[in-house]
Amino acid sequence: MAPKRTEDSSKPSVEGGATEPVVGKGRPTPSRKAAQAANAQPLVGSRDKASMKAARQRQTADRDRARLGMMNGEERYLTARDRGPQRRYVRDFVDARFSMGEILIPLMLLMLLGTFLPGMAGVYSVFIVWGFVALAVLDSVLLGVRLNGKLAAKFGKENVQKGFRWYAAMRAFQMRFLRMPKPQVKRRQYPN
């Protein structure tokens, strides 16, 4: 004869005084109402003005700390695109040199003003800007080739991450004072 199951393990379930081990959780399943009451949390946070103000101040302080950390190039505050020793090396290499793309935006603004000039000055300014764009693209391609050799020498050819050329070109096309994270090296202070 099979032993009877009971919820209480202190009661003997088999003739002869032996007790059966508890199977399951050892207590009854709570009703839905009791379970929901136990897990009840407010749908909205506290409406206490002092706690809301303190939470806003904490969030503002955290955002400011993260913004300053990113501007200073602290690894834990950087975006996934900017993290890692290879990306730092690329940033430092680009920031150490002068790139033709740095003056592309100011030149385009001058070209825009040049189109308002009467006569052929507006036409010439368009050709000048397109020629300068071609020089900036050539400069970016040469930057990528040079960086490929530098990264392979420093980190090993098989360990070079993909996408570093595009990353370097986009940074080279930004004006130096607008780059994020901010440049950590001076001009001509190339990384080792």
103 and 57 inside one domain? no
Q: Which residue has the tokens 């420093």?
A: 154
Residue 9 CB contacts under 8 Å (≥ 6 apart), including other chains: 19, 20, 21, 22, 26
67 and 117 inside one domain? no
Q: Is residue 25 part of a domain?
A: no
pTM over 0.85: no
Q: Is residue 28 part of a domain?
A: no
pLDDT tens string 47-104: 788 888 998 999 999 999 999 998 888 888 888 888 889 999 999 999 999 999 998 8
Confidence of residue 2 (pLDDT cuts 50, 70, 90): low
Residue-level pLDDT at 5: 53
**Spatial distance between the Cα atoms of 173 and 175, rounded to a whole number of angstroms:** 7
Residue 111 CB contacts under 8 Å (≥ 6 apart), including other chains: 125, 126, 128, 129
142 and 64 inside one domain? no
* Percent composition of the chain: helix, strand, coil (DSSP 3-state, to 5): 60, 0, 40
Residue-level pLDDT at 25: 84
98 and 165 inside one domain? yes
Confidence of residue 15 (pLDDT cuts 50, 70, 90): low
61 and 116 inside one domain? no
| Residue 123, helix vs strand vs coil | helix
121 and 57 inside one domain? no
100 and 140 inside one domain? yes
Chain centre to alpha carbon of residue 89: 17
Residue-level pLDDT at 165: 92
Q: Residue 27 in contact with residue 6, Cβ under 8 Å?
A: no
**Spatial distance between the Cα atoms of 144 and 49, rounded to a whole number of angstroms:** 54
pLDDT tens string 110-150: 888 877 777 776 677 778 888 999 999 999 999 999 999 99
Q: Is residue 32 part of a domain?
A: no
Q: Is residue 46 part of a domain?
A: no
Of residues 15 and 177, more confidently modeled: 177
78 and 89 inside one domain? no
- Which domain-ending residue is among 35, 66, 82? 82
75 and 133 inside one domain? no
Q: What is the DSSP letter of 3?
A: P
In the chain, the number of structural domains is 2
Q: Is residue 152 part of a domain?
A: yes
106 and 160 inside one domain? yes
Q: For 16-22, what is the mean pLDDT?
A: 64
Q: Is residue 17 part of a domain?
A: no
Radius of gyration of the chain (CA): 33
Q: Which domain holds residue 124?
A: 84-192
Residue-level pLDDT at 1: 53
Q: For 16-31, what is the mean pLDDT?
A: 76
Task: Of 53, 77, 80, give the one whose Cα is nearest residue 65.
Answer: 77
